[in-house]
Amino acid sequence: MTSYEPSGDRAAVPPYDAVVLAGGAARRLGGADKPGVHVGGRALLDRVLTACADARTTVVVADARPTARPVLWAREDPPGGGPLAALGAGLRRTTAGELLVLSADLPFLGAATVGRLLTALRASDADGVLLTDTDGRDQPLVAAYRAEALRRGLAALSTEHGGLTGLPLRRLTGALDLTRVPDPVASFDCDTWDDIAAARARIREHGHVLDEWISAAKDELGIDLDVDMRLLLDLARDAAHGVARPAAPLTTFLVGYAAGRAGGGPEAVAEASRKAAALAQRWADEAAAAKADAAPDATPDSRPDAG
Q: Flag whether pLDDT at 76 surpasses 80.
A: yes
In 3D space, the residue among 79, 78, 80, 101 whose CA is nearest the CA of residue 90 turns out to be 101
Average pLDDT of the segment spanning 126-138? 94
In 3D space, the residue among 83, 21, 31 whose CA is nearest the CA of residue 192 turns out to be 31
**Phi, psi of 62, rounded to the nearest 5 degrees:** 180, 175
pLDDT digits (tens, 9 = 90+) for 214-237: 777 777 666 666 767 777 778 888
Question: Tell me, what's the pLDDT at 10?
Answer: 43
pLDDT digits (tens, 9 = 90+) for 165-220: 999 999 999 999 999 999 999 999 999 999 999 998 888 876 677 777 777 777 76
Average pLDDT of the segment spanning 36-44? 89
Question: Tell me, what's the pLDDT at 241?
Answer: 80
Question: Tell me, what's the pLDDT at 286?
Answer: 66
What single DSSP character describes residue 246? T
- The model scores a pTM over 0.85: no
Exposed, middle or buried by CB within 10 Å (0-12, 13-18, 19+), for 229?
A: exposed
Distance from C-alpha of 220 to C-alpha of 43, rounded to nearest angstrom: 11
pLDDT digits (tens, 9 = 90+) for 248-270: 888 888 888 788 888 878 888 88
Distance from C-alpha of 40 to C-alpha of 24, rounded to nearest angstrom: 22
Q: Flag whether pLDDT at 304 surpasses 70.
A: no
pLDDT interval class at 2 (50, 70, 90)? very low
Query: Which helix (H) or strand (E) covers residue 171, if one does?
Result: helix 170-173
pLDDT digits (tens, 9 = 90+) for 85-96: 999 999 999 999
Question: Tell me, what's the pLDDT at 290?
Answer: 65
228 vs 70 pLDDT, higher one: 70
- What is the distance between the terminal CA atoms of the chain, rounded to a whole angstrom? 84
Number of neighbours of residue 257 by Cβ within 10 angstroms: 11
6 vs 18 pLDDT, higher one: 18
Q: Flag whether pLDDT at 123 surpasses 90.
A: yes
Instruction: Return all residues near 161 (Cβ < 8 A) that are at least 6 apart.
Output: 167
Distance from C-alpha of 198 to C-alpha of 126, rounded to nearest angstrom: 34
4 vs 265 pLDDT, higher one: 265
Identity at 151, one-letter amino acid code: R
Identity at 284, one-letter amino acid code: A
Question: Tell me, what's the pLDDT at 253?
Answer: 82
